[in-house]
């Protein structure tokens, strides 16, 4: 039997209230996935469920399904808790809008991992007051019945049946005779509510595909509607078992209800807490011309809202930079945990980016004669941009930090114009941290949206920056993005190209000119809304890059993703330095098929949500 823990949901009332809470008591829980919040007994909620199901005598494998937004949190949790990282399934979604739906998440792990066994499905964010809960009794009950099993509980006074999936159960056979998803008052007298805790036989798993084909909207791909369809319409035998009392679904409670589980934290309030400044910068995809931005070429790039870096600044007595628990770890579950994290991610987290940005900011203001007030602050950051796949994660952190500093010290666009701001961000990385980089990422993250960039030598020599133009983002086609779960074989993209370019090697110099020409053609295609032509140009961009960098430099992982995309007739290219591919598939049916193929190949796949900037603003959370 296989156990699947579902933690892929997006957004809860609790998280919103934690983020908006002004007391500061729960700030350490901001951004923490709900399954990793403290539960009973001082354990994280997911810790309890992992201890409960980590029984080899019951389960041959345990899988965890999460989303791209919170994937890194669960990966770090896994390494610290001896959970197999390879059994974490990323559904590729980053927001509530692009979530797959609970049933689709379950179907994804079953399909992508080719599971062929009975499964237990549990919501990993469900608080259970009974720490001695014995899952073996559930399995035994399931084995004794000729059908599926749903766990339910009796609702307490004050709970409304219209907010739950209600079951009507035969007291003799324990068979569920009817399932009602959030029924209106009066439709049933039952007070028995199901929870996301099910046992499903392998022969029944195929029904999920049939159900998903009937539900075109992700909001309808819920377990409640699935069981309602399976029991009421398909008349399958499904049985019920009552869960021990005393639990809560975190997605359905607010902060006031949750605080009873957090008595070990201080409740002391600060007097007049400073209003935090929170700013975001977004990941980018290079749509055309890259990597010629470092070679006096031209590019078109776009910020995407799927992935972001967020920095928060709060006034404080001393200046403090807060390490990120995932990216700047100082505590580890074990020596093996330290070894695995260091081998996979190296030693360079985001804290150095905050520090270098602050140093450079002070230096810039001093040289420009800008007086800074004597105020100290605390900086912390968060990011869901995958590392080492070329989506400009480092520059996003620098860009967001700069936004916070500008707002905190009231530095205006006149003090630090956008073209200079992009140069500033680049200098933080190249001068302070010795990161090899070009201007494209910094420009598009400053201007935001869809940006055309000309980095010709004449412009760079004369004004110190290129010409940058924002482009119309209305009616854009649906671009997609895929990246490697393990980008270790993504290649050394830059190789020796810079040396060859500086030495004037004709083939490299000519290639950079061709990149610029392709970019101009792509700009025209976008203006004319000629998406077929744009797709052709994207393919040409990749082939040109491949011709000068060679397959050895691009790496087998990148090449496999390109080859896979082309099997479905999609245009495809590298959006950055490697580890990811961006594409344009004009056939929506093939796009769906391609998503499944990428997921089955072990890649993370998502449809891009372009980030369209507002008319304002240096700072603020957009």
Residue 607 banded pLDDT, cuts 50, 70, 90: very high
Q: Which pLDDT score, from 0 to 100, does residue 131 have?
A: 61
Higher pLDDT, 118 or 340: 118
DSSP string across 91-152: ----SSTT---HHHHHHHHHHHTT--S-EEEEETTEEES-TT--HHHHHHHHHTSSSEEEEE
Q: How far apart are CA 200 and CA 1, in angstroms?
A: 10
Q: By percentage, how much of the chain surpasses pLDDT 70?
A: 91
Q: How far apart are CA 495 and CA 476, in angstroms?
A: 33
C-alpha neighbours within 13 Å on the C-beta side of residue 391: 28
The DSSP code for 41 is: G
Which residues, 6+ apart, have CB-to-CB distance to 73 below 8 Å?
Answer: 32, 33, 36, 326
Q: How far apart are CA 441 and CA 575, in angstroms?
A: 11
Based on the number of CB atoms within 10 Å of its own CB, is 57 exposed (0-12), middle (13-18) or buried (19 or more)?
exposed
Residue 621 banded pLDDT, cuts 50, 70, 90: very low
How far apart, in Å, do the first and last CA atoms of the chain sit?
45
User: In the numeric block, which tokens belong to residue 303?
Assistant: 């910020």
Instruction: Say if CB 272 and CB 489 are below 8 A apart.
Output: no
Residue 488 banded pLDDT, cuts 50, 70, 90: low
Residue 432 has pLDDT above 80, yes or no: yes
pLDDT in tens, 472-481: 999 999 999 9
pLDDT in tens, 29-72: 888 888 898 876 678 889 989 998 998 789 999 999 999 999 99
Q: How far apart are CA 188 and CA 160, in angstroms?
A: 12
Q: Which pLDDT score, from 0 to 100, does residue 319 have?
A: 94
Residue 12 banded pLDDT, cuts 50, 70, 90: low
Residue 19 has pLDDT above 60, yes or no: yes
Q: How far apart are CA 585 and CA 570, in angstroms?
A: 4
Which residues, 6+ apart, have CB-to-CB distance to 222 below 8 Å?
Answer: 101, 102, 103, 181
Q: Which pLDDT score, from 0 to 100, does residue 164 have?
A: 85
Higher pLDDT, 594 or 20: 594
Element (H, E) at 44: none
Range of lowest pLDDT (136-150, 258-272, 409-423, 566-580): 258-272
Based on the number of CB atoms within 10 Å of its own CB, is 270 exposed (0-12), middle (13-18) or buried (19 or more)?
exposed
Domains and CATH numbers, the chain: 2-269 (3.90.550.10), 279-616 (3.30.230.120)
Higher pLDDT, 19 or 620: 19
Residue 455 has pLDDT above 60, yes or no: yes
Instruction: Say if CB 311 and CB 403 are below 8 A apart.
Output: yes
**47, 382, 441, 539: which one is catalytic?**
441
Detail the DSSP E strand segments found in 216-276: 238-242, 247-249
Residue 274 banded pLDDT, cuts 50, 70, 90: low
Region 91-119: mean pLDDT is 93
DSSP string across 511-561: HHHHHHHHHHHHHHHHHTT-HHHHHHHHHHHHHHHHHHHHHHHH-HHHHHH
User: In the numeric block, which tokens belong to residue 529?
Assistant: 């809304």
Q: How far apart are CA 421 and CA 401, in angstroms?
A: 12
Q: How far apart are CA 354 and CA 425, in angstroms?
A: 11
Range of lowest pLDDT (230-244, 463-477, 539-553): 230-244
Instruction: Say if CB 66 and CB 89 are below 8 A apart.
Output: yes
Rounded to whole angstroms, what are the CA distances from 410 to 77, 320, 370, 373, 456? Answer: 39, 20, 10, 10, 33
Region 101-111: mean pLDDT is 94
C-alpha neighbours within 13 Å on the C-beta side of residue 239: 20
Detail the DSSP E strand segments found in 294-417: 298-316, 320-321, 376-383
Q: Among 163-177, 207-221, 431-445, 510-524, which range has the highest average pLDDT?
A: 510-524
Residue 493 has pLDDT above 80, yes or no: no
pLDDT in tens, 214-264: 998 888 999 999 999 999 999 999 999 887 555 556 655 666 666 643 442
Residue 266 banded pLDDT, cuts 50, 70, 90: very low
Q: How far apart are CA 160 and CA 128, in angstroms?
A: 20
Q: Which pLDDT score, from 0 to 100, does residue 350 have?
A: 92
CA–centroid distance for 293 within its chain: 27
Q: How far apart are CA 69 and CA 308, in angstroms?
A: 9
Rounded to whole angstroms, what are the CA distances from 548 to 55, 104, 513, 563? Answer: 53, 41, 13, 18
Going by DSSP bridges, is the β-strand pair 298-316/450-454 parallel, antiparallel, or unpaired? antiparallel
Residue 142 has pLDDT above 70, yes or no: yes
Average pLDDT of the chain to the nearest whole number: 88
Q: Is 520 a catalytic residue?
A: no
pLDDT in tens, 319-376: 999 999 889 988 888 999 988 888 777 777 899 999 999 999 998 987 876 767 778 9
Range of lowest pLDDT (2-16, 79-93, 544-558, 582-596): 2-16
Instruction: Say if CB 118 and CB 199 are below 8 A apart.
Output: yes
User: In the numeric block, which tokens belong to residue 168?
Assistant: 């009507």
Please report the sign of the dihedral spanned by the C-alpha atoms of residue 29, residue 13, residue 85, residue 41: positive
Residue 490 has pLDDT above 80, yes or no: no
């Amino acid at each position: 039997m296989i156990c699947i823990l579902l933690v892929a949901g997006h957004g809860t009332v609790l998280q919103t209230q934690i983020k908006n809470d002004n007391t500061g008591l729960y700030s350490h829980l901001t951004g923490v996935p709900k399954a990793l919040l403290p539960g009973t007994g001082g354990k994280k909620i997911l810790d309890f469920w992992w201890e409960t199901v980590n029984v080899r005598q019951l389960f041959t494998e345990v899988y965890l399904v999460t989303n791209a937004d919170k994937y890194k949190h669960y990966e770090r949790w896994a390494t610290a808790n001896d959970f197999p990282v390879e059994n974490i399934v990323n559904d590729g979604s980053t927001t509530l809008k692009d979530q797959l739906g609970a049933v689709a998440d379950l179907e994804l792990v079953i399909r992508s991992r080719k599971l062929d066994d009975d499964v237990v499905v549990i919501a990993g964010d469900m608080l259970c007051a009974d720490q001695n809960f014995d899952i073996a009794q559930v399995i035994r009950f399931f084995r004794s019945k000729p059908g599926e099993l749903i766990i339910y509980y009796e609702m307490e006074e004050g709970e409304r049946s219209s907010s739950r999936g209600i079951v009507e159960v035969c007291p003799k056979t324990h068979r569920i005779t009817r399932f009602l998803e959030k029924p209106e008052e009066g439709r049933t007298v039952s007070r028995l509510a199901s929870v996301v805790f099910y046992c499903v036989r392998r022969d029944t798993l195929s029904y999920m595909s049939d159900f998903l084909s009937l539900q075109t909207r992700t909001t309808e791909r819920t377990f409640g509607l699935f069981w309602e369809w399976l029991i009421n319409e398909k008349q399958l035998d499904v049985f019920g078992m009552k869960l021990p009392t005393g639990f809560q679904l975190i997605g359905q409670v607010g902060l006031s209800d949750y605080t009873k589980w957090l008595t070990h934290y201080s409740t002391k309030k600060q007097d007049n807490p400073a209003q935090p400044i929170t700013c975001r910068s977004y990941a980018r995809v290079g749509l055309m011309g890259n990597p010629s931005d470092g070679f006096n070429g031209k590019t078109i790039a776009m910020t995407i809202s799927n992935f972001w870096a967020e920095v928060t600044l709060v006034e404080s007595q001393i200046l403090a930079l807060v390490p990120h628990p995932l990216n700047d770890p100082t505590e580890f579950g074990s020596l093996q945990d330290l070894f695995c994290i260091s081998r996979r991610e190296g030693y360079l987290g985001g804290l150095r980016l905050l520090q270098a940005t602050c140093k450079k900011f002070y230096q810039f203001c001093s040289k420009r004669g800008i007086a800074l007030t004597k105020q100290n602050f605390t900086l912390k950051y968060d990011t869901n941009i995958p590392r080492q796949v070329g989506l400009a994660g480092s520059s996003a952190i620098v860009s967001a930090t700069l936004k916070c500093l500008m707002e905190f010290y009231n530095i205006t666009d006149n003090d630090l114009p956008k073209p200079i701001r992009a140069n500033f961000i680049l200098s933080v990385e190249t001068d302070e941290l010795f990161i090899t980089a070009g201007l494209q990422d910094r420009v598009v993250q400053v201007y935001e949206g869809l940006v055309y960039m000309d980095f010709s030598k004449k412009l760079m020599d004369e004004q110190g920056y290129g010409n940058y133009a924002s482009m119309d983002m209305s009616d854009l086609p649906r671009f997609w993005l895929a990246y490697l779960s393990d980008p270790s074989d993504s290649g050394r993209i830059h190789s020796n190209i810079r040396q060859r370019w500086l030495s004037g090697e004709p083939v490299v110099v000519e290639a950079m000119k061709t990149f610029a020409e392709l970019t101009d053609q792509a700009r025209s295609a976008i203006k004319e809304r000629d998406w077929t032509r744009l797709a052709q140009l994207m393919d040409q961009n990749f082939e040109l890059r491949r011709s000068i960098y060679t397959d050895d430099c691009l790496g087998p992982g990148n090449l496999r993703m390109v080859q896979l995309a082309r099997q479905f007739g999609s245009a495809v290219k590298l959006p950055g330095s490697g580890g990811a591919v961006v594409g344009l598939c004009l056939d929506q049916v093939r796009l769906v098929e391609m998503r499944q193929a990428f997921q089955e190949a072990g890649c993370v796949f998502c449809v891009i949500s372009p980030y369209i900037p507002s008319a304002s603003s240096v700072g603020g959370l957009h």
